[in-house]
Chains A and B, each alone.
Chain A
């Protein structure tokens, strides 16, 4: 019956699309502690020769509800986001509730050379940026060939 309307098998098309998407995102090996894809907050990780840069896209969180800690090479970003609407508003009707509400925790495994004493964290425009310095010994250096 569905074929009469759609001509082709819609679900196999969707499945193919989903596989393509997974292939697109599957390029990076993911950590065993990474959690499911789509967890809050989304995190980007990058590296330079000097540092490891982590950005968590966590808008609308008060600074006192946001916690960053480093323990044995694990960077943990945790906190809580409160709902913006009040349940006791008179005659209020809620049409959409897509934004994340509740407590969250994300863990990032830092590479071997990360220095837990050189960490800077900044929260601006709803983005938490954490910069972790590298130990001198782990910085890349050019090796002269004799």
Chain B
């Protein structure tokens, strides 16, 4: 990675909040992600606190990757909420998978509430050195 690479930062400015507001209107939270591409493919990490394997769904439909999850935190039945920064225990986010990535070979790992997805590049799309013959 070089210094000129633009990194998409989570923007807390007023324009970015419109997106968050839309998320609350559909009753889901947008999980924060890190996305890195190397020569083998794209790796994505998503924060899904409180999500167990049974409550997580990752699927690819029509070239779009959907992450859908529900957080479950065991709590006493007579709990009175006093302060809540996370009100909706649902997480959802979608990404369009470009044609050079292979959606059938996605590997998913969930550990400590972080989902790691490895989306490999198609074999034919991997970078290759092409030998030039001098005739």
Q: Report which A residues bind B (CB closer than 8 A).
A: 11, 14-15, 17-18, 21, 28, 30, 37-38, 41-51, 53, 55, 57-61, 83-85, 87, 89-100, 123, 125-127, 129
Contacts and interface: CB of A to CB of B under 8 A. Distances in A.
- Size bin of chain B's contact surface: 35 or more
B82 A48 contact: no
Interface stretch (B37-45, B60-68, B100-108): B37-45
Contact of B49 (A17, A59, A95): A59
A47 B82 contact: yes
Interface in B23-58: 24, 32-39, 43, 45, 47-52
Nearest to B8: A96
Nearest to B43: A85
B112 A94 contact: no
A41 B32 CA distance: 12
A78 to B, nearest CB: 17
A130 B34 CA distance: 28
A127 B114 CA distance: 11
B95 to A, nearest CB: 10
Contacts, number: 158
A49 B18 contact: no
Interface string B51-90: 1100000000000000000010111101111111110000
Contact of A126 (B15, B43, B48, B79): B48
12 contacts: A17-B21, A44-B81, A45-B84, A53-B75, A53-B79, A87-B1, A92-B36, A93-B37, A94-B34, A98-B8, A126-B50, A126-B112
Main secondary structure of the interface of B (DSSP, over half): mixed
Nearest to B12: A38
B38 A91 contact: yes
B98 to A, nearest CB: 12
Contacts of B8: 95-98
Nearest to A29: B83
Contact of B73 (A83, A90, A100, A127): A127
A107 B75 CA distance: 21
B21 A21 contact: yes
A100 B83 CA distance: 22
B10 interface: yes
